[in-house]
Chains A and B, each alone.
Chain A
Amino acid sequence: MGAPDHNDISPSDTVVDLIGVCKTYRQKQRSAKLSEVFRTMLRPQIRQVEALREITMQVGRGEVLAYAGPNGAGKSTTIKLLSGLLAPDAGTVRVLGLDPIRHRTQYVRRIGVVFGQRTELWWDQPIAASFEWKRVVWDVPRPRYERMLGLLKELLGLDELFHSLARELSLGQKMRADLGMALLHEPEILFLDEPTLGLDVLAKRDILRFITDLNREQRITVVVTSHDMSDLEQLAGRIVLIHKGRIAFDGSWERLRREFTDQRRLLLEIAGGPPPILTAATLVSNEAGRCEYVFDAGHKSIAALLAEAAAQVEILDVETHRAAIDDVIADIYERWQQDGTRSHEGGLAKTSAP
């Protein structure tokens, strides 16, 4: 599905509205030496960490937003702010028109939250008991509960797990059950913090397929964080990249590739002889006449490279591939590490205040 640029979201369609949000943490620094332990306890050194700086962002109804960044970028902080678990130091957070902190009990009835490293299930109880508990605590009317339960059992394959103790489930099964529990009350928006963490390929695929179907059929807005970029690319039409507390990119995956790097791989099968030397392309492997090159399609076209190669050798076959999104993101993170904040605050941030 095409990713709506955030500027296309009309106010009435906006479900998440962050304006100038800032959040700073204070961390005590401790010494490992026994002799300094009491000193640092009584007069601790404090390190200020700016988790979020002037974050301004809107999410439209029915969107699936991928929210990514390197470790420590501020992703989980943002999710906690949106879930009402944390208050911003500055700026405003509005979700579904409500202040998540001030209107907490009213607000959490309309959202669902799943943290990949935590479970809401009762450990020594069957899944059925946890779901029943959810029904009572969230005050879900019985007919609605039965309807949703039937739907979720079918979509998430919960029938086989329903009477098992949570402690006896695998990670993937627990995640399915947690997702089901988060959706039981038909939330309007779903926050997922690393939902595929630790899952095997099959479990991941099932979860991603479920979320995509849910978004398409129920128009539930989804904000998802993950380190798994290929998962996010499958799931979301729009990506927000956050770096050192600021939004470094906000747009579609296509634009991300175009603006940061359009790395491609070129595979040439040659008749024989040494591999051709191509300008603006790096040879990465050469085995039994198959030469693989990496190049930036933004700087050199495939046609130009083929022409160069054909002038040197006889070409039997050609393949081109886009770089995997994980590689693209890894390159971006590496560049950030090397350049610091300079390279991104200036030219690449596309988020302007609405």
Chain B
Amino acid sequence: MQLWQVHGAMDVRWMLRDIRTLLTFVIADSLSSIASASAIFLLAERFGAIGRWRADQIVFMLAYAMVVSGLPYLFFNYNVSYISRRVGRGQWDHTLIQPNPIWMSLLTEGFSPFSAIMAVLPGLALLAWAIPRAAPPLTLGWLALLLLNLSASVIIALAFSFLWGSLAFWAPRAAEELNLSTWKLLDQLKQFPLDGLGALLTGGLLTIVPSGFLAWYPCRTLLNIDTRPAGPMVTPLAAGVTALLATWVFRRGMKQYGRTGSQRYLSFGHRR
């Protein structure tokens, strides 16, 4: 809590250093958040529906996707969610000389509750608008499932990022910007409803590149488009599996780093 507090305070200080910076960030983050979902939204508006998804259900899915995109930015900023940059640029030492377990440093160092809020707020607002229109009757149980699935989707996104980002322990130069590619992969594909894709492609987008779990699959189950009984628990289960896998690979990477260290150092993005 203390660590979150100190990072939150630093974030406020940073945001408020300059009115122009404050406004620019607020506008840029909002625009970026909205733009990421606009393409599919506009299609849904034009055609009234996409496959089995009504326009309001599409909006729900896009809002869900926006929140899932924004939360890693809010909690894991400063390249924590882009771990390949930290490791690839030789900045991992800065984390190693801190007297906290690695997980604690990673959980707290990227906390940016003010600078990143506009990456989440538009999504939350849209979600609040879409829920009464698209969701089944609102109950505490359903809200709990929504929160569970949202958390699971975020965990899957982060775990995927760490899974690939850990490759920077073995190939720091080549993998430095790998997380830029992995996040692009997830962000660009998560906004699409994936019904009607072949089994192979759908399977791939729920396993190898799990962007299907970042909005489409959990929303299908939450909106009763998929009525299989265990549906809403599949995403949390996938989150558990992905997280375990990512942790295993990351630990292996840490061992490798202990053997080889890093011969490069670039200060870009470090505590900036």
Instruction: Tell me if B14 and A132 are in contact (CB < 8 A).
Output: no
Instruction: Tell me if B97 and A83 are in contact (CB < 8 A).
Output: yes
The CA-CA distance from A139 to B2 in the complex, in Å, is 10
How many residues on the B side are at the interface (Cβ–Cβ under 8 A)? 28
Contacts A25-B260, A118-B265, A125-B13 given; indicate if A133 touches B6 (C-beta within 8 A): yes
- Closest Cβ neighbor of A105 among chain B residues: B99
Instruction: Tell me if A101 and B258 are in contact (CB < 8 A).
Output: yes
Instruction: Tell me if B99 and A121 are in contact (CB < 8 A).
Output: no
Instruction: Tell me if A136 and B99 are in contact (CB < 8 A).
Output: no
CB distance from B58 to the nearest CB of A (A): 39
Contacts A87-B258, A124-B17 given; indicate if A132 touches B6 (C-beta within 8 A): yes
Q: Which residues of B contact A106 (CB under 8 A)?
A: 99
Instruction: Tell me if B96 and A84 are in contact (CB < 8 A).
Output: yes
CB distance from A143 to the nearest CB of B (A): 17
Is A122 located at the chain interface by the 8 A CB criterion? Answer: yes
Contacts A118-B265, A133-B6 given; indicate if A113 touches B97 (C-beta within 8 A): yes
Instruction: Tell me if B258 and A86 are in contact (CB < 8 A).
Output: yes
Q: Write the A125-162 contact mask toward B (1 if CB under 8 angstroms, else 0).
A: 11001001100111100000000000000000000000
The CA-CA distance from A139 to B270 in the complex, in Å, is 22
- Closest Cβ neighbor of B109 among chain A residues: A137
- Closest Cβ neighbor of A87 among chain B residues: B258
Contacts A85-B97, A124-B17, A125-B14 given; indicate if A137 touches B265 (C-beta within 8 A): no
Q: Which residues of A contact B17 (CB under 8 A)?
A: 124, 165
Is B93 located at the chain interface by the 8 A CB criterion? Answer: yes
Is A219 located at the chain interface by the 8 A CB criterion? Answer: no
CB distance from A202 to the nearest CB of B (A): 25
Q: Which residues of B contact A118 (CB under 8 A)?
A: 93-94, 265, 267
CB distance from B167 to the nearest CB of A (A): 15
The CA-CA distance from A122 to B272 in the complex, in Å, is 7
Contacts A101-B258, A125-B14 given; indicate if A25 touches B267 (C-beta within 8 A): no
The CA-CA distance from A6 to B101 in the complex, in Å, is 35
CB distance from B145 to the nearest CB of A (A): 36
- Closest Cβ neighbor of B255 among chain A residues: A87
Instruction: Tell me if B98 and A137 are in contact (CB < 8 A).
Output: yes
The CA-CA distance from A113 to B93 in the complex, in Å, is 11
The CA-CA distance from A85 to B261 in the complex, in Å, is 7
Instruction: Tell me if B265 and A117 are in contact (CB < 8 A).
Output: yes
Instruction: Tell me if A89 and B261 are in contact (CB < 8 A).
Output: no
Chain B residues near A (Cβ < 8 Å): 2-3, 5-7, 9-10, 13-14, 17, 93-94, 96-101, 258-261, 263, 265, 267, 270-272
Chain A residues near B (Cβ < 8 Å): 25-26, 77, 80, 83-87, 89, 101, 104-106, 108-109, 113, 115, 117-126, 129, 132-133, 136-139, 165
The 10 lowest CB-CB distance pairs between A and B, nearest first, are A87-B258, A86-B261, A123-B272, A136-B6, A109-B99, A122-B271, A108-B99, A105-B99, A85-B93, A124-B14
Further pairs besides A104-B96, A121-B271: 6, Cβ < 8 Å: A25-B263, A80-B93, A85-B261, A108-B96, A132-B9, A136-B5
